[in-house]
């Protein structure tokens, strides 16, 4: 899929939101640590929301960078590697906004974020086209 700006934003909000949240529901069960499951969900869903919210900003940047590419495309590898900068961004903001009674270790964050990023990335590189037949021809737009 070669994204347009509208396609990037829609894909980010809808697909990352839905697929990422479903995965978060599952993977939080397996996150190590003594905190209650309710507390863990409070943390992981905050992280998930940040992936979407901060992601809108990131998408604007990626779209700008994409303009320097002749093909006006966004290689698969970029979609994977941008997990690094985004992960750092989410970690920093998450630490800043977490209420005092919640905390998260780097390991807990990594288990959640890395697996979610991979699941969403894999989903976008294959199964997404089955659910949304026209998505790849519309630059990632859903509506």
For another protein, the binding residues (CB under 8 A) are 1-5, 7, 67-68, 70-73, 75-78, 80, 126-127, 129-134, 136-139
Residues 6 or more apart whose Cβ sits within 8 Å of residue 3: 11, 63, 66, 74, 139, 140
Q: Pick between residue 36 and residue 67 the one whose CB is nearest to another protein.
A: 67
Minimum distance from residue 58 beta carbon to another protein (Å): 18
Q: Whats the size of the chain, residue-wise?
A: 143
Residue with Cβ nearer another protein (32 or 75): 75
Angstrom distance (rounded) from CA 2 to CA 140: 7
Q: Which long-range contacts (CB under 8 A, 24 or more apart) does 36-39 make?
A: 39/101, 39/102
Whichever of 46 and 138 has its CB closer to another protein, that residue is: 138
Residue 23 CB, shortest distance to another protein, in Å, is 19
Q: Locate tokens 């509208």: which residue? A: 6
Please report how close the Cβ of residue 1 comes to another protein at its closest, in angstroms. 7
Residue 48 has, within 13 A of its CA and on its CB side, a CA count of 27
Residue 51 Cβ vs another protein, minimum distance, rounded to whole Å: 22
Q: Judged by CB, which is closer to another protein: 49, or 132? A: 132
């Amino acid at each position: 899929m070669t994204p347009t700006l509208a396609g990037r934003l829609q894909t980010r909000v809808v697909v990352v939101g839905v697929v990422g949240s479903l995965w978060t529901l599952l993977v939080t069960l397996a996150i190590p640590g003594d905190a209650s499951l309710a507390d863990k969900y409070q943390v992981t869903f905050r992280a998930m929301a940040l992936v979407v919210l901060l992601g809108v900003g990131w998408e604007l940047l990626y779209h700008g960078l994409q303009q320097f590419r002749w093909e006006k495309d966004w290689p698969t590898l970029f979609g994977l590697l941008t997990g690094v900068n985004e992960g750092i961004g989410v970690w920093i903001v998450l630490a800043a906004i977490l209420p005092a009674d919640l905390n998260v270790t780097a390991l807990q964050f990594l288990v959640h974020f890395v697996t979610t990023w991979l699941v969403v990335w894999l989903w976008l590189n294959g199964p997404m086209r089955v659910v949304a037949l026209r998505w790849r021809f519309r630059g990632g737009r859903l509506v």
